Amino acid sequence: MRTTRRQFTAAALGGLLSAQAQDRRPNFVILYTDDQGIGDLGCYGASDARTPHLDQLAQSGVRFTDWYSNSPVCSPSRASLMTGKYPHRAGVPDVLLSRAAFDVPGLRAGERTLARDLQAAGYRTGIIGKWHLGSAAHSRPKAQGFDHFFGFYSGWTDYYSHRYYTLGRGQSEILHDLWRNDEEVWEEPAYQTEVITREALRFIRDRARQPFLLYVAYGAPHYPMQAPKQYLDRFPASMDRDRRTHLAMIAAIDDSVGAIRAELKKRGIDRETVIFFQSDNGATEETRADHAGRPYRGGSNAPFRGFKMGLFEGGIRMPAMLSWPGRIPAAQVISEPGAAMDILPTFRAMAGLKEPAPGIDGKDVSAMVMSRARSPHEAIYWKYARQRAVRRGDWKLLLDPPSFSDSKVMDKVWLSNLREDPGERRNYAPEQPGLVRELTALLEAWEATLAGGA
C-alpha cells in the first residue's frame, strides 16, 4: 500500500480537478502512432530524427521515461487505451484479422470505453485514422461511443491506394478500406498521414462550443514503408534506406502534430486542451517492412532490448507525453511507471467525472503528473501468446521470453533489474530465486483474474 500522505494528495487534487472541470471542462486529444520505437524521437535522444513539434509537445508538459503499452501488438494495446482494462479483460488479447466482409468482432457490444464515458458527459467524440478494434457492426467506432469516424478498420493500409493486402500468408484478399462514418470514401493517391491530419483539423474546426475528445490514430510508421519526397528530402540520401524512410514517415506525423497544435492555438483553446501522445508498441523487426526482406532495422527501440511482439522493454516501453498548459507543469521528465490503460481514469478525473466503476484496471495518474506523486501502480502485468511479465518497482519478471534475430534466448525465466540494467542484457534469476518465486506468484494470481475475460 502507498502512504496515507500520497492518498491525501491524490484526493485533494481530485477535488481540485473536479472544481476546475465544472468551470470549464477540457478538450482531449489523443495522438497514437503505430510501430514507433522510443528511439525514433529527438526528445528521447535520437540524433538522426527530425521531430521538432513532438519535442516541443514534450517540453510543454510531461515526457514519460517508463510508460508502457499494455501489449506488444496493436489491437490489444488499443483495446486497453479505449477501455482502461488489460487486453484479455477487454476481450481483445491478440491482433484482429482484416477481412473484406468487414465482419470481424472486436470490442464487445456495450463495452465501456473512454469515448462512451465522455459522450455521456456531453462531449463530442471523434476518431480519425486506424481503428483495428473490430469491423463487425457492434465493434465499430460509432457503436463504441464515437460520434464521428474517418479512417480504416484494418491493421494497416497502403498509404496511397488505401488498400489492405496480404498475399502468401493464408490470405489473398485485397480490400479498399477508407470510410467516413458508414460511407466508403476514395482519396487515392492522397498520402494517408496527410489525409488523417486534414480530417483531424476539420473535426476541431467543426466542434462548435462543445467540449470534445479527438483520437488521432496514425497508421505510420507501420509498413508498407512509404513516404513522399518532401519528407525524405529532410534526411541525407547517404542514410540507411530503411532508417531514412522510417524517419521520413515520422517527420510527416510531426508536421501533423504541429498543425493540430497550431489549430488549437488559432481557435484559442490550446490552454483548455489536454494532449496525450503514445506509440501502440515498439518498432518491429518484421521482414515485410524491410526493403530487401531482411529483419527490419528502420525503427529504433534503443536503448532497450527486443521488438514488437515481445515483452522485453523494446516491445512495450513507449515514447509518451502528456500536456495541459497551465495545469500540468512544463518541462517535466517522469520516471514513475504508467500505462495506456491509465488514460481512461485520468481523463475522467480531468473532466470532473466520478471514479470509474469497478472492473477498470487503469489508475488515475493526475497526481503523478501535477504534483510529482508516486505511481499509483504496485505492479503492472502483461500476457501475450506464451509470454507473461510483471514489473514491480525496478524488478521485472518475464516468463518464456522471446528471441529475435539479433539475440537467441534459451532461458525460460528472465529477471531484469531495470534500474541497473535497463537494456535487460543480464538475467538476475539465478541469483534471486526467492524474488522469482514471489513475482511468479503475483503473476499467477493476476492471471487467475483474467479467466473468462477474453
* Cβ contacts of 250 within 8 Å, gap of 6 or more: 33, 36, 40, 41, 49, 51, 220, 221
- Residue 298: HSE in the Cβ half-sphere, 13 Å Cα cutoff: 30
Residue entry with cell 484496471: 361
Distance CA 273, CA 203 (A): 14
Which one from 43, 53, 74, 148 is the annotated catalytic residue? 74
- 43 is annotated as an active-site residue: no
Would you say 364 and 346 are in contact if contact means Cβ atoms under 8 Å apart? yes
Q: Is the dihedral of CA 431, 433, 434, 435 positive or negative?
A: positive
Side-chain half-sphere CA neighbours of 311 within 13 A = 25
**132 included as an active-site residue:** yes
* Active-site pick, 132, 148, 162, 222: 132
**DSSP bridge pairs for 391:** 380, 396
3-state SS string for 274-338: EEEEEECCCCCCCHHHCCCCCCCCCCCCCCCCCCCCCCCHHHHEEEEEEECCCCCCCCEEECCCE
Q: Does the bond joining 303 to the residue before it have cis omega, within 30 degrees of 0?
A: yes
CA distance 119 to 122: 5
Among 253, 262, 260, CA closest to 280: 253
With the CA atoms of 108, 109, 112 and 118 taken in that order, what torsion angle do they form, in degrees rounded to the nearest 10? 130
Helices (H), 174-228: 192-205
Nearest CA-CA partner of 250 in 71, 37, 28: 37
Catalytic residues: 74, 132
